[in-house]
Amino acid sequence: MLWQIVRDFFKRPFYALYEKKLSGEVRSWRLPRHIGVIMDGNRRFARETGLGNASAGHERGAEKLREVLSWCYEFGIPVVTVWSFSLDNLSRDTSEVEMLLSLFERETLRLAGHQDVHTNQVRVRYLGKLELLPESLQAAIERAEGATASYQRFQLNIAMAYGGREEIHDAFRRYLGEELKAGKSLAEVLASYDEKSIEPHLYTSGLPEPDLILRTSGEVRLSGFLLWQSAYSEFYFCDTYWPAFRRIDLLRALRSYHQRQRRFGR
Protein backbone atom coordinates (compact mmCIF):
# COMPACT_ATOMS: atom_id res chain seq x y z
CA MET A 1 0.00 0.00 0.00
CA LEU A 2 2.87 2.40 0.77
CA TRP A 3 4.31 2.04 -2.71
CA GLN A 4 0.87 2.81 -4.16
CA ILE A 5 0.70 6.03 -2.14
CA VAL A 6 4.17 7.08 -3.39
CA ARG A 7 3.27 6.13 -6.95
CA ASP A 8 0.01 8.06 -6.83
CA PHE A 9 1.77 11.12 -5.42
CA PHE A 10 4.00 11.40 -8.47
CA LYS A 11 1.19 10.54 -10.88
CA ARG A 12 -1.29 13.00 -9.35
CA PRO A 13 -0.77 15.81 -11.93
CA PHE A 14 -1.30 13.34 -14.77
CA TYR A 15 -4.36 11.87 -13.06
CA ALA A 16 -5.86 15.36 -12.84
CA LEU A 17 -5.46 15.88 -16.58
CA TYR A 18 -6.78 12.40 -17.34
CA GLU A 19 -9.78 12.91 -15.04
CA LYS A 20 -10.56 16.20 -16.75
CA LYS A 21 -10.47 14.45 -20.13
CA LEU A 22 -12.83 11.68 -19.01
CA SER A 23 -15.15 14.18 -17.31
CA GLY A 24 -15.49 15.96 -20.63
CA GLU A 25 -16.45 12.72 -22.38
CA VAL A 26 -18.76 11.08 -19.84
CA ARG A 27 -21.92 12.87 -21.00
CA SER A 28 -21.58 11.23 -24.42
CA TRP A 29 -21.25 7.71 -23.00
CA ARG A 30 -23.96 5.10 -22.64
CA LEU A 31 -24.29 5.04 -18.87
CA PRO A 32 -25.85 2.40 -16.60
CA ARG A 33 -29.27 3.03 -15.12
CA HIS A 34 -28.40 0.96 -12.07
CA ILE A 35 -24.99 0.44 -10.46
CA GLY A 36 -24.35 -2.10 -7.73
CA VAL A 37 -21.32 -1.44 -5.52
CA ILE A 38 -19.51 -3.89 -3.24
CA MET A 39 -17.65 -1.50 -0.93
CA ASP A 40 -14.71 -3.68 0.04
CA GLY A 41 -11.36 -3.01 1.72
CA ASN A 42 -12.15 -0.75 4.70
CA ARG A 43 -10.27 -2.88 7.21
CA ARG A 44 -7.24 -3.42 4.98
CA PHE A 45 -7.13 0.30 4.22
CA ALA A 46 -7.06 1.09 7.94
CA ARG A 47 -4.34 -1.47 8.61
CA GLU A 48 -2.09 -0.53 5.71
CA THR A 49 -2.37 3.24 6.17
CA GLY A 50 -1.69 3.09 9.90
CA LEU A 51 -5.13 4.28 11.06
CA GLY A 52 -4.89 1.84 13.92
CA ASN A 53 -8.16 -0.08 13.90
CA ALA A 54 -10.99 -1.28 11.69
CA SER A 55 -13.34 1.34 13.09
CA ALA A 56 -11.37 4.15 11.46
CA GLY A 57 -11.45 2.32 8.14
CA HIS A 58 -15.21 1.93 8.28
CA GLU A 59 -15.61 5.61 9.18
CA ARG A 60 -13.57 6.53 6.10
CA GLY A 61 -15.69 4.14 4.07
CA ALA A 62 -18.88 5.91 5.15
CA GLU A 63 -17.39 9.26 4.15
CA LYS A 64 -16.40 7.82 0.78
CA LEU A 65 -19.93 6.60 0.12
CA ARG A 66 -21.29 10.13 0.49
CA GLU A 67 -18.66 11.36 -1.97
CA VAL A 68 -19.28 8.61 -4.54
CA LEU A 69 -23.02 9.20 -4.38
CA SER A 70 -22.45 12.86 -5.21
CA TRP A 71 -20.59 11.76 -8.36
CA CYS A 72 -23.46 9.46 -9.31
CA TYR A 73 -25.92 12.35 -8.93
CA GLU A 74 -23.63 14.48 -11.08
CA PHE A 75 -23.51 11.85 -13.84
CA GLY A 76 -27.25 11.22 -13.67
CA ILE A 77 -27.15 7.56 -12.63
CA PRO A 78 -30.66 7.02 -11.23
CA VAL A 79 -30.24 3.85 -9.11
CA VAL A 80 -27.33 2.85 -6.89
CA THR A 81 -27.31 -0.25 -4.68
CA VAL A 82 -24.49 -0.58 -2.16
CA TRP A 83 -23.62 -3.56 0.03
CA SER A 84 -22.78 -2.28 3.48
CA PHE A 85 -23.10 -5.37 5.70
CA SER A 86 -23.53 -9.05 4.85
CA LEU A 87 -25.08 -11.76 6.95
CA ASP A 88 -21.63 -13.33 7.16
CA ASN A 89 -20.35 -10.12 8.78
CA LEU A 90 -22.47 -10.93 11.84
CA SER A 91 -19.91 -13.61 12.71
CA ARG A 92 -17.06 -11.09 13.03
CA ASP A 93 -15.60 -10.03 16.36
CA THR A 94 -18.42 -8.78 18.63
CA SER A 95 -16.82 -5.40 19.28
CA GLU A 96 -16.39 -4.76 15.54
CA VAL A 97 -19.99 -5.75 14.79
CA GLU A 98 -21.29 -3.47 17.54
CA MET A 99 -19.16 -0.61 16.21
CA LEU A 100 -20.44 -1.20 12.67
CA LEU A 101 -24.07 -1.28 13.73
CA SER A 102 -23.59 1.93 15.70
CA LEU A 103 -21.98 3.55 12.65
CA PHE A 104 -24.85 2.40 10.43
CA GLU A 105 -27.36 3.90 12.83
CA ARG A 106 -25.60 7.27 12.83
CA GLU A 107 -25.23 7.28 9.06
CA THR A 108 -28.85 6.24 8.54
CA LEU A 109 -30.08 9.11 10.71
CA ARG A 110 -27.74 11.41 8.81
CA LEU A 111 -29.28 10.24 5.52
CA ALA A 112 -32.77 10.98 6.79
CA GLY A 113 -31.95 14.67 7.13
CA HIS A 114 -29.03 15.17 4.76
CA GLN A 115 -29.34 18.16 2.45
CA ASP A 116 -27.91 16.30 -0.58
CA VAL A 117 -30.51 13.57 -0.21
CA HIS A 118 -33.39 16.03 -0.19
CA THR A 119 -31.94 18.42 -2.79
CA ASN A 120 -31.40 15.54 -5.22
CA GLN A 121 -34.68 13.86 -4.25
CA VAL A 122 -33.11 10.51 -3.40
CA ARG A 123 -35.38 7.75 -2.22
CA VAL A 124 -33.55 5.62 0.34
CA ARG A 125 -34.44 1.96 0.69
CA TYR A 126 -32.86 -0.81 2.78
CA LEU A 127 -32.59 -4.41 1.56
CA GLY A 128 -31.96 -7.51 3.65
CA LYS A 129 -33.05 -9.36 6.76
CA LEU A 130 -33.60 -6.13 8.65
CA GLU A 131 -35.37 -7.92 11.48
CA LEU A 132 -31.96 -9.19 12.61
CA LEU A 133 -30.73 -5.65 13.26
CA PRO A 134 -31.01 -3.83 16.61
CA GLU A 135 -34.36 -2.13 17.18
CA SER A 136 -32.79 1.32 17.31
CA LEU A 137 -31.23 0.75 13.87
CA GLN A 138 -34.53 -0.55 12.52
CA ALA A 139 -36.18 2.63 13.78
CA ALA A 140 -33.53 4.76 12.07
CA ILE A 141 -34.12 2.84 8.82
CA GLU A 142 -37.85 3.47 9.05
CA ARG A 143 -37.14 7.15 9.58
CA ALA A 144 -34.84 7.40 6.53
CA GLU A 145 -37.21 5.46 4.29
CA GLY A 146 -40.20 7.48 5.47
CA ALA A 147 -38.46 10.83 5.02
CA THR A 148 -37.61 10.02 1.39
CA ALA A 149 -40.55 7.83 0.34
CA SER A 150 -42.03 10.40 -2.05
CA TYR A 151 -38.81 11.04 -4.02
CA GLN A 152 -38.45 9.64 -7.55
CA ARG A 153 -35.41 11.31 -9.13
CA PHE A 154 -32.71 9.01 -7.66
CA GLN A 155 -32.80 5.84 -5.59
CA LEU A 156 -30.22 4.60 -3.11
CA ASN A 157 -30.58 1.00 -1.96
CA ILE A 158 -28.50 -0.10 1.02
CA ALA A 159 -28.06 -3.86 1.40
CA MET A 160 -27.69 -4.54 5.11
CA ALA A 161 -27.82 -7.92 6.86
CA TYR A 162 -27.97 -9.11 3.26
CA GLY A 163 -27.12 -12.38 1.55
CA GLY A 164 -27.96 -13.25 -2.05
CA ARG A 165 -28.88 -16.86 -1.35
CA GLU A 166 -31.06 -15.78 1.56
CA GLU A 167 -32.83 -13.24 -0.66
CA ILE A 168 -33.74 -15.93 -3.19
CA HIS A 169 -34.81 -18.29 -0.41
CA ASP A 170 -37.00 -15.62 1.21
CA ALA A 171 -38.53 -14.65 -2.14
CA PHE A 172 -39.50 -18.24 -2.92
CA ARG A 173 -40.98 -18.74 0.55
CA ARG A 174 -43.07 -15.56 0.17
CA TYR A 175 -44.23 -16.60 -3.29
CA LEU A 176 -45.15 -20.09 -2.13
CA GLY A 177 -46.94 -18.79 0.96
CA GLU A 178 -48.92 -16.27 -1.07
CA GLU A 179 -50.02 -18.87 -3.61
CA LEU A 180 -51.05 -21.40 -0.95
CA LYS A 181 -52.93 -18.70 0.95
CA ALA A 182 -54.89 -17.98 -2.23
CA GLY A 183 -56.17 -21.55 -2.08
CA LYS A 184 -53.98 -23.20 -4.69
CA SER A 185 -52.70 -26.72 -4.20
CA LEU A 186 -48.97 -27.37 -4.24
CA ALA A 187 -49.38 -29.15 -7.59
CA GLU A 188 -51.10 -26.07 -9.04
CA VAL A 189 -48.38 -23.79 -7.70
CA LEU A 190 -45.63 -25.90 -9.26
CA ALA A 191 -47.48 -26.15 -12.57
CA SER A 192 -47.71 -22.35 -12.92
CA TYR A 193 -44.24 -21.56 -11.52
CA ASP A 194 -41.62 -20.08 -13.85
CA GLU A 195 -38.42 -18.01 -13.48
CA LYS A 196 -40.37 -14.76 -13.17
CA SER A 197 -42.64 -15.95 -10.38
CA ILE A 198 -40.41 -14.89 -7.51
CA GLU A 199 -39.26 -11.56 -8.97
CA PRO A 200 -42.07 -9.55 -7.31
CA HIS A 201 -40.89 -11.00 -3.98
CA LEU A 202 -37.21 -10.07 -4.26
CA TYR A 203 -35.86 -7.26 -2.08
CA THR A 204 -35.33 -5.23 -5.28
CA SER A 205 -38.88 -5.63 -6.56
CA GLY A 206 -39.84 -2.78 -8.86
CA LEU A 207 -36.27 -1.78 -9.69
CA PRO A 208 -34.28 -2.33 -12.89
CA GLU A 209 -31.65 -5.04 -12.68
CA PRO A 210 -28.11 -3.71 -12.18
CA ASP A 211 -26.37 -2.89 -15.44
CA LEU A 212 -22.95 -2.62 -13.80
CA ILE A 213 -21.59 -4.15 -10.59
CA LEU A 214 -18.38 -2.67 -9.24
CA ARG A 215 -16.20 -4.14 -6.51
CA THR A 216 -13.22 -2.47 -4.91
CA SER A 217 -10.12 -3.88 -3.12
CA GLY A 218 -8.94 -6.28 -5.83
CA GLU A 219 -11.25 -9.17 -4.96
CA VAL A 220 -12.71 -10.73 -8.12
CA ARG A 221 -15.98 -12.28 -6.98
CA LEU A 222 -19.55 -11.27 -6.10
CA SER A 223 -19.65 -13.06 -2.71
CA GLY A 224 -23.42 -13.45 -3.09
CA PHE A 225 -24.30 -9.86 -4.01
CA LEU A 226 -27.53 -9.58 -6.05
CA LEU A 227 -27.18 -13.15 -7.30
CA TRP A 228 -30.55 -13.32 -9.05
CA GLN A 229 -30.45 -9.79 -10.45
CA SER A 230 -26.91 -9.90 -11.82
CA ALA A 231 -27.41 -12.60 -14.47
CA TYR A 232 -26.73 -10.11 -17.28
CA SER A 233 -24.81 -7.44 -15.37
CA GLU A 234 -21.42 -6.20 -16.47
CA PHE A 235 -18.68 -6.47 -13.83
CA TYR A 236 -15.83 -4.11 -13.02
CA PHE A 237 -13.18 -4.96 -10.41
CA CYS A 238 -10.95 -2.21 -9.05
CA ASP A 239 -7.75 -2.78 -7.02
CA THR A 240 -8.27 0.36 -4.92
CA TYR A 241 -9.61 -0.05 -1.39
CA TRP A 242 -13.03 1.52 -0.94
CA PRO A 243 -11.94 4.48 1.28
CA ALA A 244 -9.32 5.40 -1.36
CA PHE A 245 -11.74 5.14 -4.31
CA ARG A 246 -11.43 8.20 -6.56
CA ARG A 247 -13.60 10.01 -9.05
CA ILE A 248 -11.27 8.83 -11.81
CA ASP A 249 -11.86 5.22 -10.71
CA LEU A 250 -15.60 5.67 -11.18
CA LEU A 251 -15.06 7.35 -14.54
CA ARG A 252 -12.90 4.42 -15.66
CA ALA A 253 -15.63 1.98 -14.63
CA LEU A 254 -18.24 3.98 -16.55
CA ARG A 255 -16.00 4.17 -19.60
CA SER A 256 -15.44 0.41 -19.47
CA TYR A 257 -19.21 -0.14 -19.31
CA HIS A 258 -19.74 2.22 -22.27
CA GLN A 259 -17.22 0.30 -24.37
CA ARG A 260 -18.81 -3.10 -23.83
CA GLN A 261 -21.37 -4.70 -26.12
CA ARG A 262 -24.17 -6.17 -24.03
CA ARG A 263 -25.78 -9.28 -25.53
CA PHE A 264 -28.07 -10.45 -22.69
CA GLY A 265 -27.32 -14.07 -23.53
CA ARG A 266 -28.20 -13.67 -27.21
Choice among 40, 157, 211, 249 that is catalytic: 40
Active site includes 40? yes
Task: Please choose, from the candidates 202, 206, 203, 208, the residue with its C-alpha nearest in 3D space to the C-alpha of residue 233.
Answer: 208
Exactly one of 8, 53, 88, 89 is catalytic; name it. 89
Q: What is the largest CA-CA distance in the chain?
A: 69
Q: How far apart are CA 204 and CA 221, in angstroms?
A: 21
Q: Crossing angle for the helix pair 94-113 and 135-148, nearest 10 degrees?
A: 20
CA gap 226, 159 in Å, rounded: 9
What would the DSSP string read from start to end of 175-196?
HHHHHHHTT--HHHHHHH--TT
- Residues annotated as catalytic are 40, 89
